[in-house]
Chains A and B, each alone.
Chain A
């Protein structure tokens, strides 16, 4: 079954000349014994050849791009066509027959869809709809105009005797030829224009035209073809009407099919929360189904896929996970570029086969001149009309580029190959002419369009980063314009777009987007989010100790309960701000802020530990485990978590705390979101949460530190390890009963085992002498109240540092969290104490037999911590590590 499908795929590629697949053993052979080695080429031939061709094409691409100079001058498509010519020549010389042609079936069913899907999916929709009028005009009117004028002019040429009489073709044949040669080809346009970088408007017009004119081409081609097959005598007036009607059926039908599938796709992805892994597949499957459906109903398949991609993108992108998004993007680009490469190469190879074509100079030259001339004329005429209605008229230079950018490509070639020689006697001449036209437009025009664009000084596209201001103001402008249109009483484009957006917001998005996705789906928010991601990535890339270069203050506390993703970035920001504290500590007036600074300073040490790495062997087909590339993210999480824990410690000795933060609001919801988000961010089962790494005992060896400065850091405040039980307190209590160890502080009365004098002196310790205890009503959790304050304090310190109210922020410089330099100013604060402080986090995991089901009981808390503690990637970030021996011991359950 699979083999059959594969060979089906390969056969058209391999060409008709290929012998049919043979069984390895022919019946005449004597039965061999057990073979040690058997060569079964025919078993694998077809897929092998396909793979080989793609490999050759990809290798060729690599080779071309080795030289920047060549690719900057010559478009890749030219190089590929030329390579195809060479390869075809070699094959011809070796095999004495032309093989591996570009077969229309392969082209339309396998090679074209990825390219169209890619272009539809990544089409800038706003730009597209802003220019829809122009695009449609050029696509419909322009293509019709080109087809009829070219066909008629060629016929005139023949009547004038300039085409050799052996080309047996009537007016209808020429119109048929005109219809297939007139359409601008999306593949060729994309290949060339992607390298030229003209401004967006120009690009979208040419490219949009090339996509949308498919409907017209299909209709024209089919109508003319059936007319030719019927014979011109039998064509009746109703047939013409049917032809016109079929234009609407084919185009609107194709678009409708595409939209239906877009809807289905969006709806399906709404429910893939638990099976993230198939999300990319769904995108491709349904888009391909749209293509095939449209093809089956002989509607415009290109239009269908374009509309599908265009329509579903917004919702699909919101629904699927971040990783799926990346996967979709890359797979789509890979497939499209693969298909494009193969198409151009096969075009080159196909041209070698001289048995298929017959040359007539008059026809070839005439066609070349006519398509160029009529394209230019058509563009000028249409632009003149369009400019009456356009806000920004298309100027002459734009028109030149548009005329010159009308490249013909593989679609025309595939269509001409599809002609029936018995019905169209001049097919061979048409094939030759098409090949020449395609080669001329792709090679000559492709080569010259770049210099032309430069020479004409066409406005180039300028790529600039999105800024929040632009996004916000753009929205404002949209609303203003919509409002002004209302005031003026003219319901124009802006009015309808506004209405559409409201409709979309009210109904479509509600229906097609996951609720969690819908809540965060806002363009302004999106830009904000992307900016944060960018900063975060640059932050991590720079080793984690440089703040965003702009010196912006950082968004303060994350709102974890709504978006896990945002919390990622915000957490990064937090750690970023934590890393910057050192300079602030110096020279600041001792104040309330100072305390926080001191607390924060302790946090810095978290960055200095060099944790031992832990790898969890994980290979699940259904869930992707984090790979090495994600370590950076994890690292920051971990660091951050450590800092937090230490901030507790500095606030209070030996406190037990639950993982649930004292942020009471929305806990119920958080559970739900947390689950979803954890999956969204990590794409893995939620169970491997905290347990894996929870048992972290940080043993801090700070001898060097001690020598350097007698003033000690937080770590030195304590004699024994401070034990944080990162678990629900109820469990802690249980554990406490079992172990009875003081460090675990099982009892509600929490007494610091060894209150150091430091504690009394530290400014932030004062006023917290009494440890109030509160018993939460919902569970048996017993949480010291001051733990809450501790948490709040650290939070607020993070917050206030993250977004200082006034001029503090700009002074934050980006220093690595270096322990020494920072210590000195704080010296008076910390009397020396034990040099070997250690923190233990005896965790739940310690308890043997803690099952997943049990752990899921406190999921909300876990979700809270899971991203923070990560589980395996302990790399050390900070350069300060070098001179002090910090280490972390991971101990499951054991404590010091």
Chain B
């Protein structure tokens, strides 16, 4: 598999993928290469186990959720277009992305979509809201053992209340966006090599 023989032609539907994700040809080739490297049995898709094999993901507190995000709607596998589609969220925002054609769908790497990717990592039950419970779960993953459960609950309460504007005790996507409006999401949710 080390051969760099993979050309763009090898990738099925390369043009539509490019259009959808905005990746450059070179990036797509590299990603395809990576995809095939991860795909152990040459199945043509990645299973959950394939993704779990990535060593560092095991120590990532959000690793499982991120693997989950690659697998759409409970299915156990992801094909190359799906794989690239998820990664396209992390493509840096470039100048040509900003002059939006209103007819075109919003590019996957727009601020909104980047935020939405992060949001759905929190929102486990997909009800469009981060409940207090969901917030607590994330916090538990992120904060580690140093902080007691009681303190975690306090933090979770406060975090939710801080963002919660309509007083329903949960953070909707709109509220999530608002709480981060001062943050440079475009920068913080982009990886340079994914051009």
A483 CB within 8 Å of chain B: yes
Known A525-B155, A803-B157: A474·B183 in contact at CB below 8 Å: yes
A475 to B66, CA, bound (A): 14
CB distance from A881 to the nearest CB of B (A): 32
Q: Which B residues lie within 8 Å of A495 (CB)?
A: 56
In the complex formed, the residue of B with least CB distance to A493 is: B192
The CA of A494 and the CA of B189, in the complex, are separated in Å by 11
Rounded to whole angstroms, the CA-CA distance of A559 and B149 in the bound complex is 10
Query: Could you say which of A391, A486, A492, A552 contacts B158, with CB atoms under 8 Å apart?
Result: A552
A81 to chain B, nearest CB (A): 37
A390 lies within 8 A of B150 (CB):
no
The interface residues of chain B, by DSSP majority, are classed as helix
Report A479-494 residues with CB < 8 Å from chain B CB: 479-490, 492, 494
In the bound assembly, the distance between CA atoms of A522 and B155 in angstroms comes to 12
Tell me if A528 and B155 are in contact (CB < 8 A). yes
Jot down 10 A-B pairs with beta carbons below 8 A, ordered by A.
Answer: A462-B182, A469-B171, A473-B180, A477-B188, A483-B60, A486-B55, A487-B34, A488-B194, A518-B146, A528-B151
Contact of B154 among A494, A521, A528, A810 (CB under 8 A): A528
Check: A9 CB closer than 8 A to any chain B CB: no
Shortest CB distance A206–B (Å): 19
Interchain CA distance A528-B193 in the complex, whole Å: 34
A620 within 8 A of B: no
A519 to chain B: closest residue by CB: B146
Contact B56 A524 (CB under 8 A): no
What is the CB-to-nearest-CB distance from B7 to chain A, in angstroms, rounded to a whole number? 19
Decide if A441 is an interface residue (CB 8 Å cutoff).
Answer: no
CB pair B192 A391 closer than 8 Å: yes
- Report the tally of A-B residue pairs with Cβ distances under 8 A: 157
A528 adjacent to B142 (CB under 8 Å): no
Interface size class of A (residues with CB under 8 A): 35 or more
Binding site for B on A (CB under 8 A): 389-392, 462, 464, 467-470, 472-477, 479-490, 492, 494-495, 498, 502, 505, 518-522, 524-525, 528, 531, 550, 552-553, 555-557, 559, 562-563, 566, 803, 806-807, 810
| B59, B70, B155, B167: most-surrounded residue (chain A CB, <10 A) | B155
Nearest chain A residue, comparing its CB with the CB of B66: A483
B92 at the interface (CB under 8 A from A): yes
B32-53 interface bits toward A, Cβ cutoff 8 Å, 1 = contact, 0 = none: 0010011000000000000100
Determine if A483 and B193 form an interchain contact, defined as CB atoms under 8 angstroms apart: no
Query: Residue B62 at the A interface, CB < 8 A?
Result: yes
Q: Which residue of B lies closest to A392 (CB)?
A: B187
Query: Most A CB atoms within 10 A — which of B37, B162, B171?
Result: B162
Q: Are B90 and A522 in contact (CB under 8 A)?
A: no
Are A477's CB and B118's CB within 8 A? Answer: yes
Interface string of B49-81 (1 = CB under 8 A from A): 001001111011111001000100000000000
In the bound complex, what is the Cα–Cα distance between A523 and B182 (angstroms)?
19
Q: Please, how many angstroms separate the alpha-carbon atoms of A522 and B121 in the complex?
A: 21
A465–chain B nearest beta-carbon distance, Å: 10
Most central of A475, A488, A498 by chain B CB within 10 Å: A488
Contact between B155 and A490, CB atoms less than 8 A apart: no
CA distance A389 to B92 in the complex (A): 12
Residues of chain A with a CB closer than 8 A to B31's CB: 488
- Docked Cα-Cα span, A566 to B122, in Å, equals 27
B124 at the interface (CB under 8 A from A): no
- Knowing A481-B90, A495-B56, A519-B146, say if A559 contacts B151 (CB, 8 Å): yes
Partner of B54, one of A391, A392, A486, A555: A486
Complex contact A525–B146 (CB within 8 A): yes
Q: Identify the closest chain A residue to B180 (Cβ).
A: A473
B26 within 8 A of A: no
- Which one, B54, B121, B144, B179, contacts A480 given CB within 8 A? B121
Taking a contact as CB atoms under 8 Å apart, the answer to whether A476 and B62 are in contact is yes
**In this assembly, does B87 line the interface, its C-beta being within 8 Å of a C-beta of chain A?**
yes
Q: Are A486 and B34 also in contact (CB < 8 A) when A391-B92, A480-B66, A810-B167 are? A: no
Pairs A-B, 10 closest by C-beta atoms: A555-B154, A469-B179, A468-B159, A519-B146, A486-B56, A483-B66, A479-B62, A489-B34, A391-B192, A559-B150
Which residues on the A side are within 8 Å of B10 (C-beta)?
Answer: none
Instruction: Report the bound CA distance from A520 to B150 in whole Å.
Output: 13
B contact residues around A389 at 8 Å (CB): 192
Q: Are A467's CB and B179's CB within 8 A? A: yes
**Chain B residues, CB < 8 A from A480:** 62, 66, 117-118, 121, 189
In the complex, A483 Cα to B59 Cα: how many Å?
10
| CB–CB A807/B34 < 8 A | no
Asked if A479 meets B61 with Cβ closer than 8 Å, knowing A489-B37, A520-B147, A562-B148, the reply is: yes
Q: Are A481 and B191 in contact (CB under 8 A)?
A: yes
In the complex, whether B143 has a CB less than 8 A from a CB of chain A is yes
Provided the pairs A462-B182, A520-B146, A525-B146 are in contact, do residues A472 and B139 lie with their beta carbons within 8 angstroms? yes
Q: When the two chains form their complex, are residues B189 and A566 in contact, meaning their CB atoms are under 8 A apart?
A: no
Apart from A468-B159, A487-B66, A492-B191, what are 11 other A-B pairs with CB-CB below 8 Å? A391-B190, A469-B176, A477-B189, A480-B118, A481-B90, A487-B54, A487-B57, A488-B191, A519-B147, A520-B147, A555-B157
Contact between chains at A488 and B189 (CB < 8 Å):
no
- Residues of B near A470 (CB, < 8 A) are 179-180, 182-183
Please name the residue on chain A nearest to B59 by beta carbon.
Answer: A502
What are the residues of chain B within 8 A of A494 when measuring CB–CB?
191
CB-defined contacts of B171 to chain A, threshold 8 Å = 469
B154 touches A556 (CB 8 A): yes
- Give the chain A neighbours of B182 by CB distance below 8 A: 462, 464, 470
Q: Verify B155–A468 contact, CB threshold 8 A.
A: yes
Instruction: Map CB proximity to A onto B131-164 as digits: 1 under 8 Å, 0 otherwise.
Output: 0000000110011101110110111011101110
Known contacts A470-B179, A555-B158; is-contact A566 B121 (Cβ 8 Å) = no
B96-139 interface code vs A (CB 8 A; 1 in, 0 out): 00000000000000000000011001100000000000000011
Chain B residue at smallest Cβ distance from A391 = B192
Question: Would you call A566 and B57 a contact (CB within 8 A)?
Answer: no
* Across-interface contacts of B37 in A (CB, < 8 A): 489
Closest A residue by C-beta to B92: A391
- B62 & A472 in contact (Cβ 8 Å cutoff): no
With a cutoff of 8 Å between Cβ atoms, the chain A residues found around residue B60 in the complex are 479, 482-483, 486, 498
With A484-B90, A552-B162 already in contact, the answer to whether A492 and B62 are too (CB < 8 A) is no
Give Cα distance in the complex from A72 to B92, angstroms.
Answer: 38
Instruction: Determine if A553 and B66 form an interchain contact, defined as CB atoms under 8 angstroms apart.
Output: no
Given that A472-B159, A489-B37 are contacting pairs, would A524 and B192 also be in contact in the complex, using a CB cutoff of 8 Å? Answer: no
A471 to B176, CA, bound (A): 13
Q: Which residues of B contact A484 (CB under 8 A)?
A: 66, 87, 90, 191
| Contact yes or no, B180 A468, CB < 8 A | no
CA gap between A472 and B118 in the complex, in Å: 11
Judge whether A467 and B194 touch: CB under 8 Å: no
Provide the residues of chain B in CB contact with A553, threshold 8 Å.
157, 161
Residue of B nearest to A563 (CB): B151
For A517, the closest partner residue in chain B by CB is: B146
CA distance A490 to B187 in the complex (A): 18
Most buried by B among A480, A492, A498: A480
- A524: contacting residue among B153, B155, B188, CB under 8 A: B155
A557→B155 CA distance, assembly (Å) = 12
Q: Write the nearest CB–CB distance from B185 to chain A, whole angstroms.
A: 8
How far apart are the CA atoms of A556 and B158 in the complex, in Å?
A: 10
Q: Is B57 a contact partner of A562 (Cβ separation < 8 A)?
A: no
- Taking a contact as CB atoms under 8 Å apart, the answer to whether A492 and B151 are in contact is no
Contacts of A556 in B (CB 8 A): 153-154, 157
